[in-house]
Structure 1
């Protein structure tokens, strides 16, 4: 998880952003809050932070001042500004300090999500051996957990079910699984169902419609269609050849 600090002089805004947005679903952990720029600098002195989500206008020390300070320190911390329409020209100053990300107020879920997904993708590409190793280990565990869930619950396996285990939203799991395995979650579920069906077909006491139900198909025609697509033959043909 990348570490995120949220800064805004309005408590309701910073607390709302911290508490009610599913940061962990997109790879971020909120490690602190700050009411102004001075608190931001104090916090990052003692804590590791990857990204700062900050209101551009704050008392005592503004978001621009934070960006300037970090730029002078050659800091690798990325800044995302929350800015209203009236702050547009003011925000232009931040370009000189390497700030590229802006989110308009009032904050929209879709804009917040898309912005931080892009930031995570950039952070993932940074050549940091220790971080990369930790992320790879975490990725392996998540994918392993999802696959284990499908193997044990293939009959009713779903993105929603997997999401409860790895604490990610279903849409992100679908994207994440494909990114890490080069295959779709739904295709993986079907392949497990078909492999199990092939095993069950070796038991001559079981009817094909019973096997269909055992692997999660209430309609035997849909089961036959999926099986043929997977193995190139119908369940009956497969059974007769074994």
Structure 2
């Protein structure tokens, strides 16, 4: 059973989606509702959400902004937009951030069924691929770690070393590092790496990458020879507005406010 989060600012629509479609019969369990993208993001950061079914135009944080946050944080939650807005630019932005489908309200039962049946098949394939990938690393010239020992204590030490190696790579290549790149480097499946990193480090992969970027940005902000947009670019944010938003979300202050505050 895969987890589904329903996001819409209209209570009536959320209730209808949750109560009048046989989600359990097609392999999904509704684990929550949210009335805007911010509430949805908070839920996704706290628990595993496989799929989000979301409206686009909402107060506080729109569906597009939610998709952008998940994309920038490299969170693997899949998104389906359910919206009454037919403008082409919305559809383009949805595709840009990896949104799986774009359904116009009012949707037909058959369309909803077909869309989520396809997503379930995709999730099934990813899960099967995860189970088929061996846990241990294949030694190469770039990353060399021993195979996991059978002794539980030694095995824990092995996994801690592996996480340390992954973190060291992120610390070195934080500007452009991606889940896909690290998965290839350490010979791990994308989906498995995400779960593995969470299990053995206690953090989501994307959360750790963001923390490294933000701590480096904070360090650079103490040097007044750098402009804010230059620092944003240095840590991987080519859009100054996105950098400012991410920095404030992490520190509770904008880059300007942080720079003006006492060290």
- TM-score, length-normalised on structure 2? 0.48
Shift of 1:46: 1.5
Contact 2:54–2:79 (Cα < 8 Å) also in 1: yes
Shift of 1:131: 7.8
Give the number of equivalent residue pairs: 132
Aligned equivalents of 1:88 and 1:111: distance in 2? Answer: 20
More displaced, 86-95 or 38-47?
86-95
Shift of 1:33: 0.2
Aligned equivalents of 1:106 and 1:30: distance in 2? Answer: 20
For residue 126 of structure 2, give the secondary structure of its aligned residue in structure 1.
coil
Give 5+ residue unaligned stretches, structure 1: 133-242
Q: Does 1:95 align with 2:99?
A: no
For residue 89 of structure 2, give the secondary structure of its aligned residue in structure 1.
helix
Equivalence for 1:75 = 75
Shift of 1:94: 1.8
Aligned equivalents of 2:52 and 2:69: distance in 1? Answer: 13
Aligned equivalents of 1:120 and 1:131: distance in 2? Answer: 17
Query: Which of these two proteins has the greater Rg computed from alpha carbons?
Result: 1
Equivalence for 2:49 = 49
Shift of 1:85: 4.7
Shift of 1:20: 1.1
Equivalence for 2:38 = 38
Equivalence for 1:60 = 60
Aligned equivalents of 1:77 and 1:48: distance in 2? Answer: 8
CA-atom RMSD, angstroms?
1.8
Aligned equivalents of 2:83 and 2:92: distance in 1? Answer: 11
Aligned equivalents of 1:109 and 1:29: distance in 2? Answer: 17
Equivalence for 1:108 = 108
Shift of 1:88: 3.4
For residue 99 of structure 1, give the secondary structure of its aligned residue in structure 2.
coil
Contact 2:86–2:104 (Cα < 8 Å) also in 1: no
Equivalence for 2:27 = 27
Q: Deviations over 1:61-93 (max 9, x none)?
A: 000001100001111100000122534322211
Aligned equivalents of 2:33 and 2:49: distance in 1? Answer: 12
For residue 86 of structure 2, give the secondary structure of its aligned residue in structure 1.
helix
User: 1:1-242 residue pairs with structure 2 within 5 A?
Assistant: 1-127=1-127
Give 5+ residue unaligned stretches, structure 2: 133-263
Q: Deviations over 1:10-40 (max 9, x none)?
A: 0000111011100001000000000001100
